[in-house]
Chain A
Amino acid sequence: MKRFPVTCPSCEQQLQVKRLTCDRCGTEVEGIYPLPQLAALSAEDQAFICEFVKTSGSLKEMAALLKVSYPTVRNRLDEVIARLQPPSAQP
């Protein structure tokens, strides 16, 4: 399966959207658009957030679902939160 690239394979800088296409009529829009915050996360982080939303934000349910302990899920969430912070706010 193709993975949605979020960082440049050459210099690891975060990628931006340059071209958008309408699948139905073929219209193309070109420009420089930054990736939405969630889309800029890794596929693993995005999957984690999806599960988190599906469990109504219950860390306890997430822990049962992932078969790990509560603090493990809490720490994983802390990592995602840190990645969502602007670089200036990161520790």
Chain B
Amino acid sequence: MKTTQLLFSPFHRIAGGGALVSGMVGIGLAGLIGSAQGLHFDGVLDVHVGKKAPGWVFVVEGFISWLSLALLLLVAGRLLSKTAFRSIDLLGTQALARWPMVLTALACSAPGFHRYSHALMQSLVGLKPGQVPSMPAFGADGIVFGLVTLLILACTGWMVLLMWKSFSHCCNVRGGKAVGLFIITLLLAEALSKLLIGRLFLLLETAAS
């Protein structure tokens, strides 16, 4: 398989159970790497440095994000597609499409990223409306932060592209109608995943108190 095909159209060769297992490994790995640095994948498209939580929460967040989109796309595919596609292909390839998040998690562990991120957050805390924040000094940490942010954006774009390719290939849909339905489903899945992850944290807080 050519490198470009492997990176941008892997579903030509990989789908079904193999994609599901590889994808789930990727989601778990991203969650575990994230848990070591407080990096939450708290939504279909979200990556945030957040509060500390048990390690399993980071992994579960990834699985909630994956399932929110995969299940909604399954419904969308059934509505739009004229072909008899298998659910496991869509679920598996959607899981595999989240692999760029492993790269994101690794990139965020770059030295200096969290230091600058924390300094940036501190400069914004307690800011009154209209007040100009005093930005932290843009040294080596700032450069690392900038590069990692760019990489996060690239990985998120790459992931969305893979999500679309998975939907388009598995359900055999293309054209404006399919793109429109994919975007609507993506937005709905983002809202659903945020809601479910919010519920998870609410449950954790209730259990802790």
Contact = CB atoms under 8 A, between A and B. Distances in A.
B169 interface: yes
B12 A74 contact: no
Scoring A68, A70, A71 by chain B CB atoms within 10 A of each residue's CB, the highest score goes to A71
| Contact-residue bracket for chain B | 10 to 19
Q: How would you classify the secondary structure of chain A's contact residues: helix, strand, loop or mixed?
A: helix
B13 A74 contact: no
Nearest to B15: A69
Nearest to B10: A69
Interface residues of A, number: 9
Contacts, number: 38
Contacts of A74: 83-85, 172
B169 A71 contact: yes
B118 interface: no
B78 interface: no
A72 B9 CA distance: 11
A67 interface: yes
17 contacts: A67-B13, A68-B12, A69-B13, A69-B15, A70-B16, A70-B86, A71-B11, A71-B15, A71-B85, A71-B89, A71-B93, A71-B170, A71-B172, A72-B11, A74-B84, A74-B85, A78-B83
Given A69-B15, A69-B16, A75-B172, 5 more contacts: A69-B11, A69-B13, A72-B11, A74-B83, A75-B169
Interface of A: 67-72, 74-75, 78
